[in-house]
Amino acid sequence: MTQSKSSTLEASYPTAVTEVAKACHILDAQVEDVYPCTPQQIQQISEDRCEVFHLILSFGPNGDLERWIRSVQKVVSMNSILRTRIVRHQSEFLQIVTTEEHTTEYLTGDVEQFLSDEKAFETNLGTPLFRTAVIGRRFVATIHHAVMDYWSLNSFLRGDAAMLYLGQEPIHRAAFKDFVSLCAGIDRAKADSFWAARFRGSASIYPPMPASAIARPSEKLEKTITLNLMSRGIAESHIAWYAEAAWALTIATYADNESIAYGIVMSGRSSMLGDAGNTMGPTTVELPVLVTVQPSMTVDALVKGRATALRELKSNPLFLQYSLEDIAATNNTARIASKFQSLFNIVPPQSISLPTTEEESKSISLERVIKRSHGGFALTFLCRLVDESIILEALYDPAVLDRDHVDRILNQFEHDLRTLIESEMARELPTIRNRNPEKNR
């Protein structure tokens, strides 16, 4: 570390460098940079929650494993977020960028044993959040959600490591610190006004939980729905509107209230952020929304209402980075909504993959992507659009919702989604709801 860099760090955090280096078990000189976390990173790194991705690549006889390892090492050197650890210094969560050169471990045994051992490994405060290992002819990248989101995972493989492996020029991205700096500069008065306007009247959340309770989702149910989107003239880009509208109907049914609040996942990326919108790092956010399903609403009003709300959120990318605590402080309805225990997430249709030729695909392939998590919400509902089908995945806390109940929620959602897609846009919702076989179960 140069003297000027050290001086800058000491000026920003005069007592922190030695202490954070100790927390990370590294030397002071290995601390390259220190800066705050985003609110979502703080959520992801909390002791009540941990989400980790495992990317497993398989190399055939002609695959150049060592060249791939060097490519990954180069990507890490170019993207400081992959050399980042997170610590708590006094009352603040800080990101610690290190100067460490990335090394890949060579392990014996098999991948399944490695994954089993990983369940007991705590990737959290002070520890590396991006690690790689080679087991036989397989390469495993272990990545904490606090430093990577879905977009970044795909970019890491397709736009960065794979491009270098194929001999192409590496992609130069803005540092994640640039994105954090934009978040720190949010106009708080405007953000307060923006969020307060989105929470008016009353709100119910589902499932209800005691304020002191912590969700422990550990069970999962899946369901696949085949839809005829093309025959109905519904563009793939619009299915998110219908899906969220269906989720609003489903939650309203089980909450037994017209005004309901739940969480949604948004990417947080936008061309409005300039180069920072293309950074490698976690920009996704989990946000509360309030939806009122009025008895006189038509299908058109509900679907277009959700489309308008999503567009408004996307057009204010920095306001999306406001913390849940700040949103909750804007008014009482926002306070209730910010305690949501159901999270709705539409996963992008593009799967994580490698851009290889037919010959190269025989040499290197993405075997699987595994997400390991604990903590979070009582019910997380993922929708993944694959061609004309939607794969649904419900991750839930069995102490809050039993399996049969979650199965009914899945069926309810399928019913509501099909009805919205197949009904005339001018049809009123009560007519739809009264046909629902799940409503009174």
Q: What is the pLDDT of residues 53-101, one digit of tens each?
A: 999 999 988 889 999 999 999 999 999 999 999 999 888 999 999 999 9
Region 2-24: mean pLDDT is: 68
Find out whether 94 and 16 touch, Cβ atoms under 8 Å: yes
Q: What is the pLDDT of residues 213-229, one digit of tens each?
A: 889 999 999 999 988 76
* Average of per-residue pLDDT values in the chain: 89
pLDDT at 46: 86
Would strands 50-59 and 219-226 be described as parallel, antiparallel, or unpaired?
unpaired
From CA 392, how far away is CA 351, in angstroms rounded?
A: 15
Find out whether 425 and 300 touch, Cβ atoms under 8 Å: yes
pTM assigned to the model = 0.89
Place of tokens 């497993």: 56
pLDDT at 4: 43
Count of positions (residues) in the chain: 441
For residue 3, pLDDT beyond 50: no
From CA 222, how far away is CA 26, in angstroms rounded?
A: 43
Q: What is the pLDDT of residues 410-439, one digit of tens each?
A: 999 999 999 898 888 888 886 555 545 454
Architecture of domain 3-172: 2-Layer Sandwich (3.30)
For residue 133, pLDDT beyond 80: yes
Burial of 30 (0-12, 13-18, 19+ CB in 10 A): middle
* Cβ contacts of 53 within 8 Å, gap of 6 or more: 141, 142, 143, 144, 145, 148, 153, 369, 370, 371, 372
**Which of these, 39, 300, 9, lies nearest to 146 by C-alpha position?**
39
Beta bridge partners of 205: 261
Q: Where are the domains of the chain?
A: 3-172, 187-341+377-434
Assign 166 a pLDDT band (cuts: 50, 70, 90).
confident
Assign 351 a pLDDT band (cuts: 50, 70, 90).
low
* Cβ contacts of 324 within 8 Å, gap of 6 or more: 39, 43, 286, 288, 338
Query: How many CB atoms sit inside 10 A of residue 312's CB?
Result: 13
For residue 359, pLDDT beyond 80: no
For residue 1, pLDDT beyond 60: no
For residue 294, pLDDT beyond 50: yes
Intrachain domains 3-172 and 187-341+377-434 with the same fold: yes
Topology classification of domain 187-341+377-434:
Chloramphenicol Acetyltransferase (3.30.559)
Query: How many CB atoms sit inside 10 A of residue 224's CB?
Result: 11
From CA 287, how far away is CA 327, in angstroms rounded?
A: 9
Q: What is the pLDDT of residues 169-204, one digit of tens each?
A: 888 999 999 999 999 999 999 999 999 999 999 999
* CA separation, residue 277 to residues 178, 248, 426 (Å): 9, 29, 38
Region 1-7: mean pLDDT is: 45
